[in-house]
């Protein structure tokens, strides 16, 4: 029997990479980077062998998909923000066996899911950015699950999350962490004013809702949050329609979850969007 040891909602803002480089924004995302490193440290302490990322930058138009290639290696430039992330090298081991188990159980539980191991699929930056800071020594194997789901129901994504946990605990011989890699509100700054909004939220309404959501998480009021998630995702431009969050909560019990979230990196605005690193206790 395997174990789900750690679960978290994490940022992957590309300005974290920009923060490493010489220039006017050097150091601007150090708190987020430190948060990733702390989460990585906790994963090591808990004996995690594989990190599964629900990646809101992997767009799919049909079904659910798992990238579980044996290895991931390349030089990445973001096609979305090539002036933020360019020529970033990466190399991580994959876990084909776990990826296939996840797809098998998710499909058996009613959410058709395909595992891709013999593939030329690259990782997206929703996975690459956190792995850069949590996994620079290649300590963890990596599996990525598509979470920019364009024609999918949040209920199915929650069901997928529950199946992921079932696969880990009933079929896998190892210890796993799962990360919902995506923002809270996700309204990017309008073209032409991006620099002005580098460290600002696009609209006060979005920050008020984001902070209210974080309070619900910290209080453990999951019945309220789960009920409001579809509207929150719609009205606050949730990244990937917040399928990553639905998957995470599915793995933790949905509205029956009782955990109280621990904030690792406090809420911060980035290019108009709302961001956080937060650990969801596994019960």
CATH of the domain at 166: 3.40.830.10
Residue 209 reports pLDDT greater than 90: yes
Residues of the chain with pLDDT > 70: what percent? 100
94 pLDDT band, cuts 50/70/90, is very high
Show the tokens assigned to 174. Answer: 């190892």
- What pLDDT sits at residue 70? 98
| pTM, to two decimals | 0.97
Calculate Rg over the CA atoms of the chain: 17
Q: Report pLDDT digits (tens) over 101-112.
A: 999 999 999 999
- What pLDDT sits at residue 72? 98
Q: Report pLDDT digits (tens) over 66-76.
A: 999 999 999 99
The mean of the pLDDT values for the chain is: 97
Task: Specify the number of domains making up the chain.
Answer: 1
Q: Report pLDDT digits (tens) over 159-199.
A: 999 999 999 999 999 999 999 999 999 999 999 999 999 99
- What pLDDT sits at residue 25? 86
Provide the domain limits for residue 261.
3-280
Q: Distances in Å between the alpha carbon of 126 and those of 14, 228, 235?
A: 9, 24, 22
Residue 1 reports pLDDT greater than 90: no
Mean pLDDT of the region 202-208: 98
Strands 273-280 and 64-67: unpaired
Mean pLDDT of the region 26-44: 97
């Amino acid at each position: 029997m395997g174990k789900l040891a750690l679960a978290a909602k994490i940022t992957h803002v590309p300005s974290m990479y920009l923060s490493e480089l010489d220039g006017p924004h050097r150091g601007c995302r150090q708190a987020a980077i430190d948060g990733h490193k702390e989460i990585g440290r906790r994963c090591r302490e808990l004996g995690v062998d594989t990190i599964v990322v629900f990646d809101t930058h992997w767009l799919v138009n049909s079904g659910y998909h798992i990238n579980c290639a044996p290895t991931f290696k390349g030089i990445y430039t973001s096609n979305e923000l090539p002036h933020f992330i360019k020529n970033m090298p990466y190399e991580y081991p994959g876990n084909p066996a776990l990826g296939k188990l996840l797809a098998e159980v998710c499909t058996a539980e009613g959410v058709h899911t395909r595992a891709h191991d013999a593939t030329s699929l690259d990782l997206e930056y929703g996975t690459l950015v956190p792995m850069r800071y949590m996994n620079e020594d290649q300590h963890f194997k990596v599996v990525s699950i598509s979470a920019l789901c364009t024609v999918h129901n949040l209920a199915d994504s929650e069901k997928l999350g529950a199946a992921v946990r079932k696969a880990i605990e009933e079929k896998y011989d190892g210890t796993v962490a799962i990360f919902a890699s995506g923002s809270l509100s996700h309204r990017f700054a309008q073209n032409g004013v991006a620099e002005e909004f580098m460290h600002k939220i696009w609209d006060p309404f979005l920050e008020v809702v984001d902070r209210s959501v974080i309070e619900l998480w910290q209080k453990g009021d999951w019945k309220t949050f789960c009920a409001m998630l579809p509207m929150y995702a719609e009205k606050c431009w949730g990244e990937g329609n917040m399928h990553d969050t639905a998957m995470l909560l599915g793995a933790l019990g949905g509205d029956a979850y009782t955990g109280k979230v621990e904030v690792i990196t406090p809420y911060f605005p980035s290019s108009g969007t709302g961001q956080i690193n937060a650990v969801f206790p596994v019960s």
